[in-house]
Amino acid sequence: MSSNMFDIIKADLADLELALQAAVKSPVDTITEIGNHLIKSGGKRLRPALYFLAAHCGQNYNRDRVMPLAVALELIHMASLVHDDVLDSATTRRGSETANAKWGNQLAILAGDYLFAKAFALVAEHNYGSRVELQLSRLLTDLSAGELIQNKEIYKASCDTEEYFERIAMKTANFLAISCQLGGDVAGLSEPEIQALYDYGYSVGMAFQLTDDLLDLTGDTKTIGKPAGNDILQGIITLPAIRALEVSPDRAELLDIVTNRNMTADMLGRALDLVKATDGIEFTKAKVDEYLTRAKEVLPASIPSEITSSYHMAADFIGGRNF
Amino acid sequence: MSSNMFDIIKADLADLELALQAAVKSPVDTITEIGNHLIKSGGKRLRPALYFLAAHCGQNYNRDRVMPLAVALELIHMASLVHDDVLDSATTRRGSETANAKWGNQLAILAGDYLFAKAFALVAEHNYGSRVELQLSRLLTDLSAGELIQNKEIYKASCDTEEYFERIAMKTANFLAISCQLGGDVAGLSEPEIQALYDYGYSVGMAFQLTDDLLDLTGDTKTIGKPAGNDILQGIITLPAIRALEVSPDRAELLDIVTNRNMTADMLGRALDLVKATDGIEFTKAKVDEYLTRAKEVLPASIPSEITSSYHMAADFIGGRNF
């Protein structure tokens, strides 16, 4: 996350890196190597950050107690990215070589499985209780199911607005929501507070995925590390394109392109132009704003003000990403 | 498992099928479809069977209490096979189409992830406690790590006897051992009894994998559903070949073949002949016997005699597989 936005959790995030390294250390060298490569390739550590903030809401914050679950959240995220990169045959992520590019699909799939299992092992070892374990396992069933729906529907443009929101809720918003909720759980907050933290995480999660999908259409290699339109090229249809397929005067042409498995760069360029000629981008930005507004309204006065303001800054950060 | 060998757990195994179907039922149709396809494709249900037997050692056997963990064990096994078939680009398993052949690698990988997560969700839901959860997650870290070592070393013939035993312990024996142990745990047995059940499961697990590896060399399409030598063809080196590489007068020629990624059918045939000309098969059969003898010695007198005799029959069944 950006500098001094999260002073409260700076030490937590620093320790997290060491705890992640300890978690991937294995007598099997290749596991340690792949794990360390993934850790070094970076990432925003958004899920642990949201979790740490919630955990600070309680009294007697105990970092040793809080840390293993933060590690578990990030390991599940890392493992799902490793499998994602296999699915997409991606060769780079955040400027680093992907695990599948470096070690091959077979080791990447198995390393992902190992990291999932390690996450559950950590949580079991530290006796967080079945409520926490249930949240964590449901997070992963939802995440896999969301990804599965997305992959099943590629090049079909069959997704409507409602299905789109359901899909991004399963694969992203739910994960961020549960990260916040688990922090509240560990902190021993009241049920209404925990529910509010969940709602906050859900709302910023929706905004986060919507901006990701916007950036994919409007960014370029310099800003997002890949050419614009990567989702469309891979047959994944997101909100701006769904909107365009509803309102564009050229929707038949757009539909032909986005359902074509042999899409050329020219066809993709034309599809991007067609989407941008509609209100698809603005429509999506308005949804981002709705979710961010909701995220900022939902936290009750009983949450310490410095935590609430950090959460508001996180929402602003997500809203301020370039698109 | 074979008929009337497991009368004690017949009703458990029948209920297991229904419980598995309930576990894979999802609002996402594709998950339900893939899950049911995997269930219908069969399998020996060896892990739940060993677990049920151990669970029957306690007083007041409660099937509803015991069932979810049995489902979790089989789901983890199914998920690992789904990922295995992706790794091996396998098109059939036990005469049925594999998930990757039917739905593609992407959905197969995600369905496997979903099933892993569902297993942990089931266990968390039913409050088995952190000891059980820890065993289950360690089982999966070991399983993934064992598979990873195997895949990393393909076409290297770098594995010695000790490494081979370590690898099959991680990927198979440990799983069967923990299946037995968890049954003892749920039944509330004493620590020495639980340890003995673990040792039994470990020993039959080693024997089971050794016979699997033997069958791969000596079986044919009729008996094992694939041509002999499939492991060698895929670059996986097992005990009979490891032994042959140590003792064969033609070990240089054998080494050339098993490390060749472009192995022809003729070369494979020659490698099989070279292995069979040594005592590699007999050497491996002797190890199977050692483990089965150990399996039959390890259970204490406090285990109910009808359970012990079922476990002995299970050992005989494994020892009696055709090779």
pLDDT tops 80 at residue A3: no
Across the interface, of B87, B118, B138, the residue whose CB is closest to A141 is: B118
Nearest CA in chain B to A86: B106
Q: Give B209-218 pLDDT, tens digit per residue.
A: 999 999 999 9
What average pLDDT score do residues A63-83 get? 97
Same domain for A321 and A203: yes
How far apart are the CA of B119 and the nearest CA of chain A, in angstroms?
A: 8
Across the interface, of A87, A124, A137, the residue whose CB is closest to B121 is: A137
Q: Average pLDDT over chain A, rounded to whole?
A: 93
pLDDT tops 50 at residue B2: no
Strand-pairing partners, residue B96, are: B93
What pLDDT was estimated at residue B1? 47
pLDDT tops 80 at residue A297: yes
Q: Grade residue A318 by pLDDT with cuts at 50, 70 and 90.
A: confident
What pLDDT was estimated at residue B319? 80
Taking an 8 Å cut-off on Cβ atoms, the answer to whether A148 and B120 are in contact is no
Q: Residue A148: name the closest of B34, B54, B271 by CA.
A: B34
Contact predicate A280/A244, CB 8 Å: yes
Q: Distance between alpha carbon A87 and the CA centroid of its chain, in Å?
A: 16
Taking an 8 Å cut-off on Cβ atoms, the answer to whether B114 and A149 are in contact is no
Nearest CA in chain B to A140: B117
DSSP helix/strand/coil, A42: coil
Nearest CA in chain B to A147: B110
Q: Is residue A2 part of a domain?
A: no
Q: Is residue B1 part of a domain?
A: no
pLDDT tops 50 at residue B225: yes
Q: Which of A94, A128, A162 is the last residue of a domain?
A: A128
Residues 6+ apart with CB under 8 A from A112: A79, A80, A82, A83, A86, B113
Which range, of A293-302, B88-97, B234-243, averages the lowest pLDDT? B88-97
Q: Give B124-152 pLDDT, tens digit per residue.
A: 999 998 899 999 999 999 999 999 999 99
Q: What angle do CA A248, A253, A254 make, to 5 degrees?
A: 60
pLDDT tops 80 at residue A227: no
Q: Average pLDDT over chain B, rounded to whole?
A: 93
Please report residues of B whose CB lies closer than 8 A to that of A148: 28, 30-31, 107, 110-111, 114
Interface test with A, best of B30, B87, B109 (most A CBs within 10 A): B109
Output b/e per residue, A156-179; b: 16+ Cβ within 10 A.
ebebeeeebbebbbbbbbbbbbbb
Same domain for A268 and A212: yes
Taking an 8 Å cut-off on Cβ atoms, the answer to whether A145 and B109 are in contact is no
What pLDDT was estimated at residue B4? 52
d(CA B52, CA B288) in angstroms, rounded, equals: 24
Q: Is residue A228 part of a domain?
A: yes
Q: Is residue A149 part of a domain?
A: no
Q: Give B154-211 pLDDT, tens digit per residue.
A: 899 888 899 999 999 999 999 999 999 999 999 999 999 999 999 999 999 999 999 9
Please report residues of B whose CB lies closer than 8 A to that of A113: 80, 83, 112-113, 116, 140, 143-144, 147
Q: Grade residue A147 by pLDDT with cuts at 50, 70 and 90.
A: very high
Taking an 8 Å cut-off on Cβ atoms, the answer to whether A152 and B30 are in contact is yes
- A65: tokens are 């107690």
Q: Is residue B145 part of a domain?
A: yes
**Structure ipTM:** 0.93
Across the interface, of A83, A105, A121, the residue whose CB is closest to B113 is: A83
Residues 6+ apart with CB under 8 A from A256: none
Size of interface A-B (CB pairs under 8 A): 140
Chain B residues within 8 angstroms (CB to CB) of chain A: 26, 28, 30-31, 80, 83, 86-87, 105-107, 109-114, 116-118, 120-121, 123-125, 127, 130, 133-134, 136-138, 140-141, 143-145, 147-149, 151-152
What average pLDDT score do residues B304-314 get? 95
Same domain for A267 and A169: yes
Taking an 8 Å cut-off on Cβ atoms, the answer to whether A134 and B118 are in contact is no
Nearest CA in chain A to B103: A152
Please report residues of B whose CB lies closer than 8 A to that of A86: 105, 109
pLDDT tops 80 at residue A221: no
Same domain for A173 and A113: no
B40 by Cβ neighbours in 10 Å (0-12 / 13-18 / 19+) ranks as exposed
Q: Is residue A146 part of a domain?
A: no
Residues of the domain holding B74: 7-319
Q: Is residue B28 part of a domain?
A: yes
Taking an 8 Å cut-off on Cβ atoms, the answer to whether B121 and A138 are in contact is yes
Interface test with B, best of A28, A29, A85 (most B CBs within 10 A): A28
Same domain for A198 and A64: no
What average pLDDT score do residues A156-183 get? 94
Q: Which of A111, A128, A145 is the last residue of a domain?
A: A128
Residues 6+ apart with CB under 8 A from B250: B274, B277
What pLDDT was estimated at residue A296? 96
Task: Tally the domains of chain A.
Answer: 2
B156 by Cβ neighbours in 10 Å (0-12 / 13-18 / 19+) ranks as exposed
Q: How many CB atoms lie within 10 A of CB A205?
A: 28
Nearest CA in chain B to A104: B152
Residues 6+ apart with CB under 8 A from B165: B206
Task: Identify the CATH number of the domain in which residue A96 sits.
Answer: 1.10.600.10
Residues 6+ apart with CB under 8 A from A282: none
Please report residues of A whose CB lies closer than 8 A to that of B140: 113-114, 116-117, 120
Q: Is residue A58 part of a domain?
A: yes
Same domain for A72 and A213: no
Q: How many CB atoms lie within 10 A of CB B287?
A: 18
Interface test with B, best of A24, A25, A130 (most B CBs within 10 A): A130
Same domain for A183 and A70: no
Q: Please state the pTM of the whole predicted model.
A: 0.94
Strand-pairing partners, residue B93, are: B96
Residue of B321 and B291 predicted with greater confidence: B291
Query: How far lies B247's CA from each of A295, B258, B277, in Å?
Result: 70, 15, 10
Taking an 8 Å cut-off on Cβ atoms, the answer to whether B28 and A149 are in contact is yes
Q: How many CB atoms lie within 10 A of CB B317?
A: 17
What average pLDDT score do residues B85-105 get? 92
How far apart are the CA of B258 and the nearest CA of chain A, in angstroms?
A: 20
pLDDT tops 80 at residue B6: no
Same domain for A197 and A287: yes
Taking an 8 Å cut-off on Cβ atoms, the answer to whether B134 and A111 are in contact is no
